[in-house]
Amino acid sequence: MTEDDVKKAFAEKLFKFPNDAFKHALELVPDPDNVNLACRMAIEWPKDSTVLNHLKDLRESGEDINLLPNKTDLARAIWSKMEHQRISNDDFTKLAKLYAEVRGYIAKQDSTLNIKMTDDEIDYKLAALVDDLKNA
């Protein structure tokens, strides 16, 4: 893999999870024990022209939707935030509800309404509405 290929892979990971540059660098560094290289990658590469150009290309291509976090990634991110960050009880409750909705534990209500009216009922209500508007 060339350096440009690694930078493109880094850009794709960065696009998907923009706050995890160091994690992405550790995943892509050839020698996992070379933390110095991973640190340099995490600091310098988000500003690198190759990475920035690839990020721009991803956004403009329309194919970036495949690189965005999926439902599973979203659920993991929410769970991680609930588990590892100090947040208020209200925020925890909101995140727990969001997690439950993402996982499908809370069923969404059907929003379709079935209203059945005859033509005579519609004409009667329409006439009453017109009368109200005339008298207003």
The residue ranges of every structural domain in the chain are 3-66, 71-103
Rounded Cα gap, residues 90 and 100, in angstroms: 15
Over its C-alpha atoms, the chain yields an Rg (Å, rounded) of 26
Question: 25 or 17, which is more confident?
Answer: 25
Q: How far apart, in Å, are the Cα atoms of 70 and each of 15, 36, 66, 117?
A: 13, 31, 8, 43
Rounded Cα gap, residues 12 and 66, in angstroms: 10
In this prediction, residues 13-26 reach a mean pLDDT of 87
Taking the whole predicted model, whether its pTM rises above 0.75 is answered as no
